[in-house]
Amino acid sequence: MTSATRDPRGHLPLLLAALSMIGPFSIDAIFPGFPDIGHTFGVGEVALQQLLSVYLLAYAVMSLFHGAISDAYGRKPVIVVAMGIYALASAAAALAPGFGFLLGCRIVQGLCGGAGIVVGRAIVRDTMHGEEAQRMMSKVMMIFGIAPAIAPIVGAWLLGIDGWRGIFWALTAFTVLLVLGITRFLVESHPVEKRTVFRPRPLLRGYLAIARDLPFWPLAIASSVNFSGLFLYIASAPHLIRDVLHLGADGFPWLFVPTVTGMVTGAFISGRVAGRVSAAKTVGWGYAAMLSSCALSLFFALALDTPRVPWSTVPLALYGCGVQMAFPTITILLLDRFPNQRGGVSSVQAFGSLITTAFVAGVLSPLLSSNMLYLALGATTLCGTGLLAWLWYGAMERRRLARATAGAASEVVSQLERNEPG
């Protein structure tokens, strides 16, 4: 069966899940190697944190272009080229002679690492609609949810083989295999006749049109800050595991396993209820789980004399479940705001989300990671912000429906009046 006739959805869940793993592995796998990197280059905690911040900032900036470029040149070429460059940057990082060179490699990784997840969301909407798209998004996120748990465990294991450099060699090998799989199995979902021209002025006009769409903003805010509440703990993992919970390099599963268990469960539930439960109810369940997690985290932070596992980390299972229950539905709603610019919308969403996570990693995490109560308060604030944004969107939708209903009623009355005799 040729690529022209193959079902474009055949290998999609596995390919998109593997692409979405690039982000978590780029972040979480290197956490166990932080002390080793610091010792190699003679740098401290603040400098090491920049390995995360520069990656996220580069990821965020380039995410504005991945979708638009794929709208112009096709989904598959953008992913293949970006992942190929990512593999080269990973190999260069493994050979880094100095810390500045390593930071430069992290920037290149960030510029390319987001192509898969940004363009992948557009591929889902190119090939599927309605509840089928939600189920696919949930399936991808369920597989993706395993990555944050595996990444630090793999990173700690690789430390015993080739130190921190082995982590980057593993990223290189994974990405090379991924490029081969994409080249062989991914079918182009964005035909030439639907492509747009990639020029700065039309691109800017498209982004301005998205920015002027008022309902886009609460959806974008909700999708960004929901995960940021969880990411606050993930970004704080090196300090949290070693200095707050007093665990070694093998202690990362205490943080990541509950988180990932919840994320996989939430994605599974979201896929199961697609088409059976309304979007509002699905997202509402997600926020109920996230807020319950925040309440438990605050309780244990206040009740325990000293933070300890499992109580200090097990509430994250609920938060991860809530995030993944809400995320697929909110993402579909976002992409459907602009059916002809799904790549661009996905780019803008990713940009906002990554700017938020970069702020969490570079500012909030260093400020809050020394105390479980501070972390719980930070996550609660972020979750509350997402909930307010979702309620704002719901209010706008109710007003829109009320206006549409009133307009339809007015049209019926006018039609009856025109048809009255005499």
pLDDT of res. 134 = 64
Dist. CA 199–CA 201, nearest whole Å: 6
pLDDT of res. 95 = 94
Range of the domain at 392: 12-191+206-399
Which carries the bigger pLDDT value, residue 391 or residue 73? 391
Across 79-100, average pLDDT? 94
Sequence-distant (≥ 6) Cβ neighbours of residue 71 within 8 angstroms: 122, 190, 195, 196, 198, 341, 342, 343, 344
pLDDT of res. 139 = 67
Residue 31 lies in a domain: yes
Inform me whether the pLDDT recorded for 228 exceeds 80.
Answer: yes
pLDDT band at 107 (very low <50, low <70, confident <90, very high): very high
Neighbours of 110 (CB within 10 A): 27
pLDDT of res. 278 = 83
Q: Which among 19, 179, 11 has a CA at the least distance from the CA of 87?
A: 179
pLDDT band at 294 (very low <50, low <70, confident <90, very high): very high
pLDDT of res. 81 = 93
Inform me whether the pLDDT recorded for 144 exceeds 80.
Answer: no
- Crossing angle (nearest 10°) for helices 279-303 and 253-273: 160
Least confident window among 3-17, 72-86, 299-313, 368-382: 3-17
Residue 409 lies in a domain: no
Number of domains observed in the structure of the chain: 1
CB-CB contact of 345 with 210 (8 Å): yes
Which carries the bigger pLDDT value, residue 202 or residue 174? 174
Residue 177 lies in a domain: yes
Inform me whether the pLDDT recorded for 165 exceeds 50.
Answer: yes
Answer whether the bond into residue 258 is a cis peptide, omega within 30°. Answer: no
Inform me whether the pLDDT recorded for 2 exceeds 50.
Answer: no
Across 80-92, average pLDDT? 95
Q: Which among 70, 60, 369 has a CA at the least distance from the CA of 224?
A: 60
Inform me whether the pLDDT recorded for 249 exceeds 70.
Answer: no
Dist. CA 201–CA 208, nearest whole Å: 10
pLDDT of res. 352 = 83
Inform me whether the pLDDT recorded for 408 exceeds 80.
Answer: no
Least confident window among 184-193, 251-260, 280-289, 377-386: 184-193
CATH of the domain at 17: 1.20.1250.20
pLDDT of res. 100 = 93
Residue 198 lies in a domain: no
Backbone angles phi, psi at 93, to 5 degrees: -65, -40
Residue 6 lies in a domain: no
Inform me whether the pLDDT recorded for 137 exceeds 80.
Answer: no
pLDDT band at 102 (very low <50, low <70, confident <90, very high): very high
Which carries the bigger pLDDT value, residue 340 or residue 365? 365
pLDDT of res. 5 = 47
Question: pLDDT of 346-366, one tens digit each?
Answer: 778 878 887 887 788 778 888
**In angstroms, what is the C-alpha Rg of the chain?**
22
CB-CB contact of 223 with 353 (8 Å): yes
pTM attached to this predicted model: 0.70
pLDDT of res. 413 = 65
Least confident window among 69-73, 121-125, 143-147, 318-322: 143-147
Across 18-46, average pLDDT? 84
pLDDT of res. 227 = 86
pLDDT of res. 129 = 67
Residue 408 lies in a domain: no
pLDDT of res. 4 = 45
pLDDT band at 1 (very low <50, low <70, confident <90, very high): very low
pLDDT band at 238 (very low <50, low <70, confident <90, very high): confident
Question: pLDDT of 254-275, one tens digit each?
Answer: 887 888 889 888 888 887 787 7
Inform me whether the pLDDT recorded for 14 exceeds 70.
Answer: yes
Residue 334 lies in a domain: yes
- Crossing angle (nearest 10°) for helices 316-335 and 216-235: 150
Residue 258 lies in a domain: yes
